[in-house]
Amino acid sequence: MQITPRVFSGMQPTGSLHLGNYLGAMVNWIELQKTHECIYCVVDLHAITVWQDPDELRRAIRQVTAAYIAAGLDPKKSVLFNQSQVAVHAELAWVFNCVARLGWLNRMTQFKEKAGKDREQASVGLYAYPNLMAADILAYRATHVPVGEDQKQHLELARDIAQKFNNDFKTSIVAQGFVDGIFFPQPDPVITGPATRVMSLRDGTKKMSKSDPSDLSRINLTDDADTIAKKVQKAKTDPEPLPSEVAGLAARPEADNLVGIHAAMAGQSKEAVLRDYGGQQFSSFKKALVEAAVARLSPIADETQRLMSDPAEIDRVLADGSQRARAIAGPVMDKVKDIVGLIRS
Ligand code: AMP
Ligand code: TRP
């Protein structure tokens, strides 16, 4: 049972996917398929850490799955499945609940943001969320985790859990035949691309997010060409023309964001975009941005819709992926039980 390079990542089935999810995570997921063994998970157990309407949740699980496939994820090559169909995630998360320390979870900024002022009323699941995320990754002993910038802290926690497990159970791990005493690898974050943090179209200092009440703040992967055009036209800017150097974007969050989005859409660097548009007004730049965005996103929206017309086929893809995921995670969980001292038959 050697540690080999393996990619794992997950996305929550809540709300509709937006440009931040696409550029921050999905593009990298799809690229990594070319070079790595990849496992991609619709994390439905994470979704229920906050209230979800059951019918809406079912729809969202299928919709996210369809969007992944439409964006280029190949479910034959990579493993694509939903978390709740593989019991090891919840099982290993319990073991990690007993490895991670309260002090570690208390430092998680996403819990503080999501729980808001009324922390007493937050679910226990929301608090323990990062332990489940560590279990997702380590159930496959994954080594690479492509995510957006906002997941960095959670990934550091997963590394700490892997390390503490290896330390706490060192003797037992060696006794189980892992001579170097290492059972879990330290998973590395993969945070790359020109748009690891896509900002709101209404406020360049806030992250583009599913939970923003204004739909004008984000471009959804399901938006049609007219909606994309409207949102880009209304996107907040400043009165200055675009700078000709990247350094000129420093104190201009909205300009920086739009240039980053354009660069990512067109597969260019920010420098290259500013070489073309430096000195110009936003109006002409926005037209080009709409064109690039529509060219890239419309085929994905159309394909997602087509796939959604056959929910049974999506469920079949998830069932197949889950079976393949269980085949990898099952033996890892068996070893965890042996290492911890739990009896199994
Ligand atoms: P979530 O929507 O929180 O489930 O996030 C799914 C993936 O998209 C994660 O890897 C996030 O880091 C990434 N992501 C979410 N919002 C953004 C954003 N505004 N910019 C870049 N990446 C993002
Ligand atoms: N917490 C991640 C997010 O909100 C989703 C996630 C759950 C995840 N499990 C994961 C990402 C494992 C990477 C690896 O975006």
Closest-CA residue to 134 (of 162, 101, 104): 162
The pLDDT value given to residue 202: 96
309 backbone φψ class: left, alpha, beta (φ>0; ψ -120 to 50): alpha
Pocket test for ligand 1, best of 17, 21, 257 (most atoms within 8 A of CB): 21
Question: What number does the ligand 1 atom closest to the CA of 207 have?
Answer: 19
Residues 45, 47, 49: CA angle, nearest 5 degrees:
85
Q: Calculate what percentage of the chain has a pLDDT beyond 70.
A: 100
pLDDT of residue 15: 75
Mean pLDDT to the nearest integer, 206-218: 93
Is residue 210's pLDDT more than 90? no
Say what the pTM is.
0.92
What pLDDT score does 24 carry?
Answer: 86
pLDDT at position 211: 85
List of residues 6+ apart from 314 with CB closer than 8 A: 62, 65, 66, 307, 308
Residues with CB under 6 A from ligand 1: 11-12, 20-21, 24-25, 147-148, 150-151, 196-198, 207-208, 210
Show which residues are catalytic: 114, 207, 210
CA 188/CA 159 separation, integer angstroms: 8
221 vs 210: CA distance, rounded Å? 11
The confidence score (pLDDT) of residue 12 equals: 95
Q: What's the mean pLDDT in 4-31?
A: 92
- Checking if the pLDDT of 9 tops 90, the result is yes
Question: What pLDDT, on the 0 to 100 scale, is given for residue 2?
Answer: 82
Check residue 233 and give its pLDDT.
96
Predicted confidence at residue 238, as pLDDT, reads: 93
What distance in Å separates the CA atoms of residue 246 and residue 28, rounded to the nearest whole number? 23
Is it the case that residue 194 has pLDDT exceeding 80? no
- Neighbouring residues of 336: CB distance < 8 A, sequence distance ≥ 6: 92, 95, 183
**Are 240 and 278 in contact, with CB atoms under 8 Å apart?**
no
